[in-house]
Amino acid sequence: MGRMKKPFDLTGSVGKISIYNMRGFDEPIVRRKGGPTKKMVKNRASFETTRRNNSEFGGRAHIASLVMQILRPMKYVGDYNLAGPLTSLFIPIQVLDTVSEHGERNIELTKNPGLLTGFNLNRRTPFTNIITNPISYTLSKEKLSATVTIPELIPGANFFPQEQFTWYKFISILGVVEDVFYGARGYKTKAGYPLTPGYRVIEQTGWFNITPKSQAVTLTCSFNASPAEVIGSTEINNYSCLLAIGIAYGSMERGEVEMVKYVGGGKVLAME
């Protein structure tokens, strides 16, 4: 993948070159067209390893999409495309499956859920650069509940918001991520369907004005249901709990505070 430097500023196709913009990159991305056709990859023996790699990539993409669905309420807090980096994070989890053949290895996040802890939704303004104090939390996989406590905030001491914004709020998400297994129809969860709409719980504060000192705030997220009710079966225990925290900025528009897109900070606070 190449990047085009200024003063050139164009997108589209030029001969065998494609030029396009991608959120999270300041410069246009440059790629060369070409390569083997889909038919060649699907049928030729020389592409057997490629087919196996593609199959496993599909499994990682599937579980990454489950995580992204949970984090969707924080979409406008992030400042780059999460799909690629998130999919890559599942490679070391997939290789933990030493029983299945290459091309059919499962992605069991329950074997190492902590791998996602600390995953940032931002490159320019990571959450830990905005609030430098540790965030206290509780998380119970058995009870499907969590709390997040934001400490007292003092601008310039433990709170470093972007200067152009005077309003902010906190968002907390508790979600359920199922392990993904290979089967006759490709990669799926044991339940066989996405946990919609019961796969996440969202809690958020109202808008706060940036003041010399703010009080501590606690957010509580709970499914108010048993894991069997959420998963849909008493026999399934292949799930992990994801707890995320984010800060969004707002601006006053027509007498109301509206969220400003693609600024703020968010991260996966904890996994269990």
Q: Which residues pair with 86 in a beta bridge?
A: none
What pLDDT does residue 197 have?
46
Chain centroid to Cα 43, Å, comes to: 34
Is the CB of residue 200 less than 8 Å from the CB of residue 175? yes
Per-residue pLDDT tens over the stretch 80-101: 999 999 999 999 999 999 999 9
What pLDDT does residue 98 have?
94
Copy the structure tokens of residue 35: 């390569």
Supply the mean pLDDT for the chain: 86
Q: Residue 190: which pLDDT band, with cuts at 50, 70 and 90?
A: confident
What pLDDT does residue 68 have?
93
Q: Which residues pair with 31 in a beta bridge?
A: 18
Sequence-distant (6+) residues with CB within 8 A of 32 are 16, 17, 18
**What is 172-189 written as a DSSP string?**
EEEEEEE-EEEETTEEEE
Higher-confidence position of 155 and 18 = 155
Per-residue pLDDT tens over the stretch 70-82: 999 999 999 999 9
Per-residue pLDDT tens over the stretch 202-253: 999 999 999 889 999 999 999 998 887 887 765 567 899 999 999 999 999 8
Sequence-distant (6+) residues with CB within 8 A of 220 are 145, 146, 147, 203
Higher-confidence position of 33 and 151 = 151
The candidate with the shortest Cα–Cα distance to 55, out of 183, 170, 165, 186, is: 186
Do β-strands 167-178 and 136-140 pair in parallel, antiparallel, or remain unpaired? unpaired
What pLDDT does residue 83 have?
92
pTM for the whole structure: 0.83
Percent of the chain with pLDDT over 70: 82
What pLDDT does residue 184 have?
86
Helix (H, G, I), strand (E, B) or coil at 119: coil
What pLDDT does residue 53 have?
86
Per-residue pLDDT tens over the stretch 57-71: 999 999 999 999 999
Mean pLDDT across the stretch 38-44?
70
Residue 34: is its pLDDT beyond 70? no
Mean pLDDT across the stretch 26-49?
70
Per-residue pLDDT tens over the stretch 115-150: 999 999 999 999 999 999 999 999 999 999 999 999
Residue pointed to by tokens 């907390």: 172
What pLDDT does residue 200 have?
93
The candidate with the shortest Cα–Cα distance to 169, out of 135, 201, 203, is: 203
User: Number of helices (H) and strands (E), helices first, in the chain?
Assistant: 6, 15
Is the CB of residue 27 less than 8 Å from the CB of residue 8? no
